[in-house]
Structure formats: C-alpha cells, structure tokens
Chain A
C-alpha cells in the first residue's frame, strides 16, 4: 500500500476523530452534516461468512434511512436513547489508502465504552473494526460509507440505538 503524505493522513485522521466525537456526544445534526447524500451505514450480523445477500444486518441504512433514524433519535421519545447514553470511544491502528480520484478507504480498531442509562445502568463495551469510505468534496472531506464489524456480532448483543 502506497504511504500517504503525513499531512494528507493527518487530514483524514482529524476527520475520523471529529466524526467519533460527534457520535460519542450524540450531536446528531453535526454528525449528519458530515455525510454525503449516498452515505451507507452498516453494522453486519452473523459470522461474516454468509454468502447470501438476503442475510439480515443489525444496521443496513441508506441515506434516507439514516435520516429517519436521526429524526427518531431527535424526538426525545426514542426510549432506548432517552436519556442518551454516556459514551467515549477509542480508535487505533488506523490505516488510510487513496481510492480512485477523490476517495479514501480507512480502517481502524475501536472500542466504545457506553454507560447505558436507559434501563440497566451498566457499562457496555462495544469492540470491533470500523471501515470508512471518505470523499473529498468542495466542502471538505465527507463520509460516504461506514461499516462497523462488532467482534460479537454473531452472538446476543444488547440494544444498540446510539450512533456507533
């Protein structure tokens, strides 16, 4: 893989950290402003080897469904995020590569520490790998794809209605 110039890598990393911060703080409007109109947001389920394109996902949102998800979160009666979870995430092992003329593909390991405040009042940890698709636009970098591979995606997982 071609090594990116440090400044270019830094720009991508800064963007990824900003996206993480907005997600941690449930800042829905600012998070949504980072997305392209064709953004896809995915959290696959199962062992990851199911060849069927009819396998269910935990999340498989196109842009319109992301918008609905955010509208639901903003109502204040989305019980699974009312009150919102208190969260902080760590992102590491970041790699970034150019993709075509105006995009990047990035991968990182992550763990989200969620204090679940809606019912059980416990710390929930959400570890996994995250893949980003980023695009350079006139307004700066934008997120056009995010796929979150939870390590426990084939087992029972608790409610996950915040932005992971």
Chain B
C-alpha cells in the first residue's frame, strides 16, 4: 500500500492524490467519515420533523430536526440496506422503509416491524447509524468518528469566519433557503477545496471577468497586475482551513456588496443597535469571509458552498446565498444577485474554474508527476496563534491544506518540519 508521506512533501504533492480511486476511497473513510464535515445550516430545517437529504462523503444521510436538536442518520434501512428516504426534503414523523415497511423514528430507533409474529430480530440492535452532531452559530457539522475531537477544536481559527458571516446579520444569524444550485465538476474534490483560497489564479482564470465587467468593483485590488499593489492576503488557518481576506482592500462599509455605505439605512441602524456604531461599521467594512473549512465547506463571501465528492474525478459544487436574517429584503436580493455572478454553472467566475479543474484533472490523470507548491515560502509569516499569512498570490494555503491532509490520512506519518 502506498504511504501518504511518499506522496506529500512540504512543498510538493504527487498527482496520484487527485486521480487514484483507491486513495479516494481512503479519503471517504478517513476524512469524510472520521473527521467533522459541514452537513447543513439549521435554518434549512426550522421545524420539528423537517428533514433534508445530504451525504457524508459518498454516504447518504438524513438530516432531521427533532424536539431537542438535529440528528444525522445513515439513510440506509438496517434490514436489507434500501435507501430509507428518497425525497430531498420534507417533513415526517417517522421514516418508513418502502421495501418491507420497517419504521424508524427521528432518533434512528427501529420502532416497528410489520407482521411482528414472525419477527425474531432484536430491534434494539437495528437502529440507524447516528452521527455525532454539533452546531456553531447555526452551522451544523457531523461526523461518524467514534471519538471525535470537539467541534470547536476542529474549527480552531476558522471559527472566526463563521462569526464573521453571522455577525453581518442584524440578528447574528445567516439564513439558507431551500434551493441550491448544483454544479458538476468532472474533477477531484481537492481541486475545488484548494482553489477556494488560491489567489494566484484570479488574474488568469478570471481575466475575462475583469475585462467583461467594465465597472469598478469589489475585486479591483486583486485585478491589478502589479505584484506589490495587492493588499488582500492569504492565510493557512490550521487544521486544513484556509482563506483569502479582502478586508484590507475595503475602505468603507459595504464595498464588498458593491454599494455606498448609506444604501440601506435600516440595515445600518439595526447593526448599530446590535453592535454599537463603531464595531458595526468595522464589521460592515471588513465584509464577509472567503474561507474554506476543511474538508467540504466554503464560505464564499455572500454564498454558502458545499463540496460533495462523487468519485475520484467527479465532484458537485453546491451553492446557495447566505441571507442575513433581519436585513432588508432589498439587501438580501442584492446578495442573491451577487452570488449568481460568482457561483454556478453559468456564473462569471466558477464556470471557468470548473473548466480549468477539469483540464487539470485530465492532464494529471494522463501525465502523472509531482506538483510544485513552493510559491511564497520565503515571505510568509507565522503569527503567534499559528496562522500563516502571506501575499495574496502565495501557496501557503495549499501547504497548510496538505499538511493537515497528511495528518488525517496517515496519523502515524512522520511530519515534515515546518
């Protein structure tokens, strides 16, 4: 069996990590089953009995709201393995299998077997497999690990990104609706994960956006071609989490939304009364996070993005706008329209990212070899809290991603010195 440490160095990774189906299977187990993954936002299932279907890696699960919280259950009848719940969303008191009628309650307990006189199975041992679930500011995470680290420990420095997204709401919460746009990438999931905090590609992959948009906009700073003019930065946050930060490029509140600071007076008032004027103005200036939370969540400024691996060369990028609870409807409409510019199969940005990822996957599959991740090694700085900060075009996030990946995939591996 291939050792991961033979494929991952400090500044180099091997292409097989993106194209080998055996490694993909191992990732589904070690990363997606055994560590925390983002599964839903609680606003998607607001009432008791509300459920949605999701996956943990490639494993189908049901996410259901109960009287006491949120349960994540394996979507697989314990009798003959039939998919227990087919609809994408809905409201149910119980989940009844359509094959032989076994019934499970929202806690996963097997509560009924039809024709009980012939039933010899021990019901207490045939409940649905239940994930450990924890929530931070409405973001629901789950894991099938037997002894998971606490969620807050996993989130580490990325927790501040969830605060940053939520604090833009006058009620301190984002809201997610029912509709997600799902964009198929014929590429490996890690190509999406790594691209989320790759500042280097922007001027090349998105050249046509820069030229087409004509107007001054929120990305002006990074659409410059002079290396010393960038003020946006990249960060490796630890635990595989990474981000781009545009805060330094914004002089005024709401530049990130493409509007003047006084565009939504009601929003400003509500934010001032929640946070105090000075703090509110700073939150509204710094804007939303552009943060990837390992392995499958991307807070894409005004969009919530989930990376769903299907197979070694197939991935679905889900997105939906992050509405700010309590904000004026017009502001949320703007968030919606702005998200449609950036994300999705026909968007001005990710449509091109998808094509590049697909080309990259084909080249790596046909032409295996080592990839270079040295960029910025000599100019990154490590903060006291361990966060690595570097120039917007540097590869510190990739290096942080792969160091964590190695730790998770091969716990006993010799760690490469930082």
By a beta-carbon cutoff of 8 Å, the part of chain A in contact with chain B is 43, 45-47, 50, 52-60, 65, 68-69, 71-80, 118-120, 154-161
B408 CB within 8 Å of chain A: no
The distance in angstroms between the C-alpha atoms of A43 and B345, with both chains bound, is 11
Interface of A is mostly: loop
Q: Report whether A72 and B186 are in contact in the complex, using a CB–CB cutoff of 8 Å.
A: no
Q: Report whether A80 and B351 are in contact in the complex, using a CB–CB cutoff of 8 Å.
A: yes
CB-CB < 8 A to A79: which residues of B?
205, 208, 352, 355-356
Question: Which of A50, A56, A77, A155 touches B340 (beta carbons < 8 Å)?
Answer: A56
How far, in Å, is B405 (CB) from chain A's closest CB? 25
The distance in angstroms between the C-alpha atoms of A161 and B355, with both chains bound, is 11
B359 CB within 8 Å of chain A: yes
B346 CB within 8 Å of chain A: yes
In the complex, the 7 A-B pairs of residues with the closest C-beta atoms, listed nearest first: A72-B212, A119-B358, A46-B179, A55-B179, A156-B184, A71-B212, A75-B208
Q: Report whether B345 and A160 are in contact in the complex, using a CB–CB cutoff of 8 Å.
A: yes
B178 CB within 8 Å of chain A: yes
Question: Which of A56, A71, A76, A155 touches B344 (beta carbons < 8 Å)?
Answer: A56
Q: Assess A71 versus B211: contact at CB under 8 Å? Given A56-B179, A119-B359, A157-B183.
A: yes
CB-CB < 8 A to A77: which residues of B?
207-208, 211
The distance in angstroms between the C-alpha atoms of A155 and B183, with both chains bound, is 8
Q: Assess A118 versus B213: contact at CB under 8 Å? Given A55-B178, A75-B207.
A: no
Q: Report whether A75 and B346 are in contact in the complex, using a CB–CB cutoff of 8 Å.
A: no
Most chain A CB inside 10 Å of its own CB: which residue of B320, B340, B346: B346
How far, in Å, is A142 (CB) from chain B's closest CB? 23
Q: Report whether B177 and A54 are in contact in the complex, using a CB–CB cutoff of 8 Å.
A: yes
Question: Which of B183, B208, B212, B333 touches A54 (beta carbons < 8 Å)?
Answer: B333
Question: Which of A43, A60, A158, A159 touches B337 (beta carbons < 8 Å)?
Answer: A60
Q: Report whether A58 and B181 are in contact in the complex, using a CB–CB cutoff of 8 Å.
A: yes
The distance in angstroms between the C-alpha atoms of A34 and B333, with both chains bound, is 28
The 25 listed contacts between A and B (C-beta, < 8 Å) are: A45-B182, A45-B344, A46-B178, A46-B179, A46-B181, A47-B88, A54-B333, A56-B179, A56-B320, A57-B340, A58-B181, A58-B345, A68-B348, A69-B212, A72-B212, A77-B211, A78-B208, A79-B355, A119-B355, A119-B359, A120-B362, A155-B182, A158-B186, A160-B345, A160-B346
Q: Report whether A50 and B346 are in contact in the complex, using a CB–CB cutoff of 8 Å.
A: no
CB-CB < 8 A to A60: which residues of B?
337, 340
The distance in angstroms between the C-alpha atoms of A73 and B348, with both chains bound, is 10
B339 CB within 8 Å of chain A: yes
When C-beta atoms are compared, the residue in chain B nearest to A51 turns out to be: B178
CB-CB < 8 A to B389: which residues of A?
none
Q: Report whether A56 and B336 are in contact in the complex, using a CB–CB cutoff of 8 Å.
A: yes
Q: Assess A75 versus B211: contact at CB under 8 Å? Given A45-B179, A119-B186.
A: yes
The distance in angstroms between the C-alpha atoms of A65 and B214, with both chains bound, is 11
CB-CB < 8 A to B214: which residues of A?
68, 71
How far, in Å, is B322 (CB) from chain A's closest CB? 11
Q: Report whether B340 and A159 are in contact in the complex, using a CB–CB cutoff of 8 Å.
A: no
The distance in angstroms between the C-alpha atoms of A65 and B212, with both chains bound, is 10
Q: Report whether A157 and B345 are in contact in the complex, using a CB–CB cutoff of 8 Å.
A: yes
Q: Report whether A72 and B208 are in contact in the complex, using a CB–CB cutoff of 8 Å.
A: yes
B180 CB within 8 Å of chain A: yes
CB-CB < 8 A to B181: which residues of A?
45-46, 56-58
When C-beta atoms are compared, the residue in chain A nearest to B318 turns out to be: A156
CB-CB < 8 A to B341: which residues of A?
65
The distance in angstroms between the C-alpha atoms of A56 and B212, with both chains bound, is 22
Q: Report whether B183 and A50 are in contact in the complex, using a CB–CB cutoff of 8 Å.
A: no
How far, in Å, is A96 (CB) from chain B's closest CB? 27
B354 CB within 8 Å of chain A: yes
Q: Report whether A56 and B213 are in contact in the complex, using a CB–CB cutoff of 8 Å.
A: no
Q: Report whether A161 and B358 are in contact in the complex, using a CB–CB cutoff of 8 Å.
A: no
The distance in angstroms between the C-alpha atoms of A59 and B345, with both chains bound, is 9
The distance in angstroms between the C-alpha atoms of A74 and B209, with both chains bound, is 11
How far, in Å, is B89 (CB) from chain A's closest CB? 9
